[in-house]
């Protein structure tokens, strides 16, 4: 039975209680199909089960033996059948995992760059046609070049953040003055999109970020609302201090909102919820926000429902 569980095969032993059989199968599937590398260890520290991802990351795993050297992300102990077992979540640092991440990122960047370049080529071809409005086409082509440049700049900026070449948490900066300045700079773009911009909160609240990094957070939160909230909506950037002393910086709009199925992925690079896929955004804004806030010791969550707007809440501990 243990062997089958470890190898991810279907159990064949009969069970007296169908409910227990379903429960056991459900647990087996949770471990086996996990997208994370997960081990199950008995109370002696020996492997009794492993997810497919774990077996790929550690091909030398042996059932009934201690796991090979690995880096743990977390572990959780539980009681089962009168004994103790432990779930171990691995931090995957092997070359294969890195290569998978690198290849996926390269493919995503290539795909995102291909779109403005294809539109640029179409505009240039159109400009060669008799009677074409060359001036208008040139302006549209310039906009496509700007779009590609913005994408490249944000990819490089995110890469710099992740490799530690950008110092994020350095000093403390009052939030509202920076927020009002940034929102004023975005006012024209917001007006074209039909989105009103507001700043609210407590004047003495500060974020543990240097001014440039705070600007990056505010700009990306506001730009996300300008692109996606919808005409007639209002975006409010608020800064408050929670009862426990934590600083909360939130960007909230009352626009179209985001479906619950999209919320867990909003902070992924290049991810866009379905209604937004034709937007000219780079798909990196919220990923950058999350990385900056996390680098300063904070957390980011998104709260929304379809038709009820979106709130992105950044919380910095006291």
- Round the average pLDDT of the chain to a whole number and report it: 77
Does 5 score more than 70 pLDDT? no
User: Any idea what the CATH number is for the domain that residue 54 is in?
Assistant: 3.30.450.20
Q: Which residues contact 154 (CB under 8 A, 6 or more apart)?
A: 282, 284, 285, 288
Same domain, 212 and 305: yes
Same domain, 145 and 178: no
Same domain, 297 and 193: yes
Same domain, 79 and 145: no
Q: Which residues contact 221 (CB under 8 A, 6 or more apart)?
A: 237, 251, 285, 289, 312
Tokens standing for 158? 């995110």
Q: Which domain holds residue 110?
A: 95-162
Same domain, 293 and 236: yes
User: Any idea what the CATH number is for the domain that residue 119 is in?
Assistant: 1.10.287.130
* Domain's final residue, options 162, 188, 216: 162
83 phi/psi in degrees, rounded to 5: -120, -175
Same domain, 102 and 120: yes
Same domain, 51 and 186: no
Report how far residue 253's alpha carbon sits from residue 196's, in angstroms, rounded to the nearest whole number: 9
Summarised one tens digit per residue, pLDDT across range 113-148 is 676 778 788 888 888 888 889 888 888 888 878 767
User: Which pLDDT belongs to residue 32?
Assistant: 77
Is the CB of residue 209 less than 8 Å from the CB of residue 218?
A: no
User: Which pLDDT belongs to residue 222?
Assistant: 92
* Domain's final residue, options 65, 90, 115: 90
Same domain, 225 and 106: no
User: Which pLDDT belongs to residue 108?
Assistant: 54
Report how far residue 124's alpha carbon sits from residue 232's, in angstroms, rounded to the nearest whole number: 35
* Domain's final residue, options 90, 123, 138: 90
The answer to whether residue 146 sits within a structural domain is: yes
Quote the DSSP letter at residue 59. T
User: Any idea what the CATH number is for the domain that residue 295 is in?
Assistant: 3.30.565.10
Which band of pLDDT confidence, cut at 50, 70 and 90, is reported for residue 271? low
The answer to whether residue 110 sits within a structural domain is: yes
The residue whose two tokens read 């003055």 is 177
Same domain, 271 and 307: yes
Report how far residue 187's alpha carbon sits from residue 201's, in angstroms, rounded to the nearest whole number: 19
Closest by CA to 266, choosing from 236, 291, 293, 287, is 287
The answer to whether residue 106 sits within a structural domain is: yes
Same domain, 304 and 269: yes
Summarised one tens digit per residue, pLDDT across range 145-196 is 876 776 676 666 666 665 554 555 567 889 999 999 999 999 998 999 999 9
Is the CB of residue 87 less than 8 Å from the CB of residue 38?
A: yes
Same domain, 253 and 219: yes
Task: Please give the model's pTM, rounded to 2 decimal places.
Answer: 0.53
Same domain, 177 and 310: yes
User: Which pLDDT belongs to residue 56?
Assistant: 77
Q: How many domains does the chain have?
A: 3
* Least confident interval from 23-37, 39-53, 215-229: 23-37
User: Which pLDDT belongs to residue 229?
Assistant: 87
């Amino acid at each position: 039975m243990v062997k089958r569980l470890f190898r991810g095969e279907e159990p064949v032993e009969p069970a007296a209680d169908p409910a227990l059989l379903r429960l056991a199968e459900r647990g087996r599937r949770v471990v086996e199909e996990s997208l994370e590398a997960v081990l199950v260890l008995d109370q002696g520290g020996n492997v009794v089960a492993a997810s497919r991802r774990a077996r790929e990351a550690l091909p030398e795993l042996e059932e009934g033996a201690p796991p090979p050297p690995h880096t743990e992300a977390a572990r959780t102990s539980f009681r089962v059948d009168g004994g103790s077992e432990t779930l171990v979540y691995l931090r995957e640092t092997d070359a294969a995992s890195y290569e998978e991440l690198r290849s996926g990122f390269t493919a995503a960047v290539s795909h995102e760059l291909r779109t403005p370049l294809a539109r640029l080529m179409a505009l240039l071809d159109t400009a060669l046609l008799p009677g074409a409005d060359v001036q208008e086409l040139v302006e549209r082509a310039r906009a496509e070049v700007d779009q590609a440049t913005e994408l490249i700049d944000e990819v490089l900026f995110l890469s710099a953040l992740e490799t530690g070449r950008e110092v994020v948490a350095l000093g403390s900066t009052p939030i509202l003055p920076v927020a009002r300045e940034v929102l004023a700079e975005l006012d024209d773009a917001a007006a074209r999109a039909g989105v009103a911009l507001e700043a609210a909160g407590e004047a003495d609240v500060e974020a543990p970020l240097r001014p440039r990094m705070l600007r990056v957070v505010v700009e990306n939160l506001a730009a996300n609302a300008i692109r996606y909230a919808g005409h007639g909506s209002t975006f409010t950037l608020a800064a408050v201090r929670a009862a426990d002393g934590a600083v909360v910086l939130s960007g909230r709009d009352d626009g179209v909102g985001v479906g619950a199925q999209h919320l867990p992925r909003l902070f992924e690079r290049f991810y866009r919820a379905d209604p937004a896929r034709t937007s000219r955004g780079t798909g990196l804004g919220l990923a950058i926000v999350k990385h900056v806030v996390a680098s300063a010791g904070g957390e980011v969550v998104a709260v929304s429902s379809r038709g009820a707007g979106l709130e992105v809440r950044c919380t910095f501990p006291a």
